[in-house]
């Protein structure tokens, strides 16, 4: 799989997003106490969804999409409180339905910033055939607390041998 110029630019935006967030948030503070202030503290599970706009690169088509997930935090102390695993599904509403079933691995490096890597299977339903292939989906989210709800911007990229798509949307999550 080779990266085009737009793939490298999007990857650069992701890296800048991480860097800028870290610089803004990078003042000296107690990471453990700061993480506890975030809405994930005290919750073992999270249900979330992300309505978004997606650019499907091979087809040069934009379409609405929806990503749903259920996560379970691995622990309540130290490093484990920053890790979650779960399942997800993403659907892109195009003429040829695109959907993915995903195993999701999330990391909270600090407070409200979430990095999610989800390997899975991409399904594309076309008129005369169904395509199934391996897919890696990567998302970056920054959440703001509204009580028990986290809401914030999300950007993502999914790569497979036949498909690359980029998404920008809003993540909404509820801790349980």
Range 32-59 average pLDDT? 74
Please write the tens of the pLDDT for every residue from 84-128: 999 999 999 988 888 999 999 999 988 789 999 999 999 988 778
Range 16-34 average pLDDT? 48
Cα–Cα distances (Å) from 127 to 9, 56, 83, 124, in that order, read 33, 18, 40, 10
Is residue 13 very low, low, confident or very high in pLDDT (cuts 50, 70, 90)? Answer: low
Is residue 57 very low, low, confident or very high in pLDDT (cuts 50, 70, 90)? Answer: confident
**pLDDT at residue 130 is higher than 80:** yes
Q: How far apart are CA 157 and CA 163, in angstroms?
A: 11
- Give me the domain span that covers residue 102: 5-175
Is residue 158 very low, low, confident or very high in pLDDT (cuts 50, 70, 90)? Answer: very high
Into how many domains does the chain fold? Answer: 1
Range 156-160 average pLDDT? 93
CB-CB contact of 89 with 62 (8 Å): no
**pLDDT at residue 3 is higher than 50:** no
CB-CB contact of 160 with 131 (8 Å): no
**Residue 86's CATH number:** 2.40.160.20
Residues facing 160 on adjacent strands: 135
7 vs 91, which has greater pLDDT?
91
Is residue 23 very low, low, confident or very high in pLDDT (cuts 50, 70, 90)? Answer: very low
Q: Residues 6 or more apart from 55 whose CB is under 8 A from it? A: 61, 62, 165, 166, 167
Give the three-class secondary structure for 77.
coil
Residue 175, phi then psi, degrees to nearest 5:
-80, 140
Measured at the CA of 172, the angle between CA 157 and CA 155, to 5 degrees, comes to: 20
- The overall average pLDDT reported for the chain is 81
pLDDT at residue 36 in the model: 45
Give the three-class secondary structure for 8.
helix
């Amino acid at each position: 799989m080779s990266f085009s110029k737009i793939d490298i630019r999007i990857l650069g935006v992701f890296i800048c997003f991480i860097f800028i967030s870290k610089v803004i948030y990078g003042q000296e503070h107690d990471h453990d106490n700061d993480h506890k202030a975030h809405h994930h503290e005290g919750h073992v599970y999270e249900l979330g969804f992300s309505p978004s706009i997606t650019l499907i690169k091979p087809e040069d088509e934009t379409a609405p999409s929806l990503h749903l997930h259920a996560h379970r935090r691995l622990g309540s102390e130290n490093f484990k409180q920053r890790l979650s695993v779960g399942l997800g599904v993403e659907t892109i509403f195009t003429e040829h339905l695109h959907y993915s079933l995903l195993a999701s691995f999330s990391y909270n490096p600090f407070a409200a910033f979430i990095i999610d890597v989800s390997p899975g299977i991409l399904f594309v339903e076309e008129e005369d055939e169904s395509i199934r292939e391996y897919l890696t989906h990567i998302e970056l989210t920054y959440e703001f607390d509204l009580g028990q709800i986290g809401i914030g911007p999300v950007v993502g990229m999914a790569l497979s041998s036949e498909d690359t798509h980029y998404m920008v949307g809003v993540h909404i999550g509820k801790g349980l």
